[in-house]
Each structure stands twice: as C-alpha cells, then as structure tokens.
Amino acid sequence: MLRHCASGSPGSRPVRALPPSARALRQRLRQCAERIPEAEAVLDLLEKCPEHQKKGGFPVIVFEGLDATGKTTVTQAVKDTLNGVLLRSPPACISHWRTVFDDEPTLIKRAFYAAGNYILASEIAKASTRAPVIIDRYWHSTAAYTIATETSGKVQDLPPAQDEVYQWPEDLLKPDLVLLLTVDPAERVRRLQHRGLEKTKEEAELEANSLFRQRVEESYRRMVNPACQEVDASPPKEEVLKTVLQLIKEHCAF
C-alpha cells in the first residue's frame, strides 16, 4: 500500500500520489469526475470489476523496466513460446486516455494509472483460466515512477527498503513472477534514438535526469511481495529469451 514514506532522510516526503486501496482510488476519481469526463468513464469500468480478483490455474508473468529495455520484444516472444495471452498496462480499454491524464496534476494522473492496474486485474483473472498470461508492466511500474517522482534527491533519499510503499496492495491480484529488464544507460539511450519515437514526458525526464532514472530503477529493486527478478537485457534477444524462459521454468508451475 502506498500511503506514506518513513521519515529520516532529507529528501523523503509522503508519497501521496497513490491511494492505499481500490476503495480509496474510486473516491479520488469521483472527486475529479465532474471536471474530467474521462475520469467518470474510468470509474465506471472500475466499478464493474469484482473486488479481490483471483487468478486461474495458469501462471501470470509480469515484465517491468524502463522504455527501450526490450519489453515489447521479449513479451511477444514469451507469449508466442508459451502460447499465452499478452496484456498491457494501462489496458486497451483506457490507454487512449493517457494523454488526457498525463496533463493532470500528479494525484489525478497516478489515480488513472493505479485504476488501470485494477481494471487489468479483471482481465488477468479471466485470461489466466485458459492460458499463461504475459503482462507488459503492472503495479510495480506505477509504484516505482510514483515513488521516484514524489522523492527528490539521490537514491539514498528514497524511503528505506523496508517501507510499506514497496509492498504490493492487499486487494490487487498478484502475479506469479515479476521480471525486471535492465540495460546499460548508454545502450538504452542508443536504442531510444534508433526507435525514433516521440518521447513521453517521463521518458524525457529519464533521459535528462540521471538521478530520476536511478530512483526509478532502485524503487523497482526494492519492491516486495512479489519482488522483481532482475534480468540483463543487453545480450542478443535470443539469449535474453533463453534466460527469461529458464526463470519462468524455475518459478512457475505449468
């Protein structure tokens, strides 16, 4: 639950941008729904999701990491290899509203992304009854960017590793395995330039602000219950896929 950061370091301050539960999230969306019609639409979708979703008998595997770490390539390859279902956060039913919420204040913006995870959980619950589920970003991504944004300064200014901000929400469906793809910062920038895509605001800050990037990556590493298994995604994609499939075999029962 993301409610507060323990005090003690000069740069830490309360992490207010993520509500501690789906109930609090719905309340936050209601507060801005009159001004933002899209918030009302997101709220409608969220209200239709059953509470405390449970996954089916197939494994649920999440891939996390910064842009250009190979998530798109790896998730597609794993999906094809396991004959699974590929899902993304935010889910397709609300992803077209990202530009609306990205321009809103932090509290509203993060409420949108947090809501996406709960809506996605409903899709995961259904899909995992028939096939392995591969997910391109989930709660850890939302939390890591929030913690890094709400904390100023260096990595040592983040909430301590045992802080509750790194805990998985009690009312959100858990995956079986979370894999964090990482690459050398210079290689990641090279890949971004090669892609030639328009940068998001957060991606521009990651490139321009090395301290922000370090806070995001360290926040990923401090997540618990479940923790991230780190994978070096710098080698050729065939080698990365081999490593990933081995980890899935070790941690997930089919």
Structure tokens at 6: 């323990």
Q: pLDDT tens for residues 148-170?
A: 988 888 999 999 998 989 999 99
How much is the average pLDDT of 172-189?
88
Q: Is residue 64 part of a domain?
A: yes
Torsion sign, CA atoms 89, 91, 92, 96: negative
Q: Is residue 95 part of a domain?
A: yes
Cβ-Cβ contacts under 8 Å for 250 (sequence gap 6 or more): none
Q: What's the pTM?
A: 0.87
Q: Which residues make beta-bridge pairs with 179?
A: 63, 229
Alpha carbon 127 to its chain centroid, in Å, reads: 19
For the chain, the domain total comes to 1
The secondary structure element, H or E, covering residue 3 is none
Q: pLDDT tens for residues 234-250?
A: 999 999 999 999 999 99
Q: Are 64 and 182 in contact (CB under 8 A)?
A: no
pLDDT for residue 21: 87
pLDDT for residue 4: 40
Whole-angstrom Cα distance, residue 178 to residue 247? 10
Q: How far is CA 17 from CA 5, 61, 110, 120, 192, in A?
A: 12, 26, 6, 19, 28
pLDDT for residue 51: 83
Q: Is residue 11 part of a domain?
A: no
Whole-angstrom Cα distance, residue 137 to residue 106? 19
How much is the average pLDDT of 139-149?
93
Q: Are 245 and 193 in contact (CB under 8 A)?
A: no
Q: Is residue 79 part of a domain?
A: yes
pLDDT for residue 213: 87
Q: Is residue 15 part of a domain?
A: no
Q: pLDDT tens for residues 7-64?
A: 334 444 556 667 778 999 999 999 999 999 999 999 999 999 988 889 999 999 999 9
The end-to-end CA distance of the chain, in Å, is 30
Q: Is residue 9 part of a domain?
A: no
Domain that holds residue 151: 22-251
Whole-angstrom Cα distance, residue 55 to residue 226? 15
Query: Residue 75's domain is classified under what CATH number?
Result: 3.40.50.300
Q: Is residue 231 part of a domain?
A: yes
The average confidence (pLDDT) of the chain is: 87
pLDDT for residue 253: 74
Q: Is residue 10 part of a domain?
A: no
Is the predicted pLDDT of residue 3 greater than 60, yes or no? no
Percent of the chain with pLDDT over 70: 85
Is the predicted pLDDT of residue 113 greater than 90, yes or no? yes
Q: pLDDT tens for residues 67-109?
A: 878 899 999 999 999 999 999 999 999 999 999 999 999 889 9
22-33 vs 37-47: helix crossing angle, rounded to 10: 150
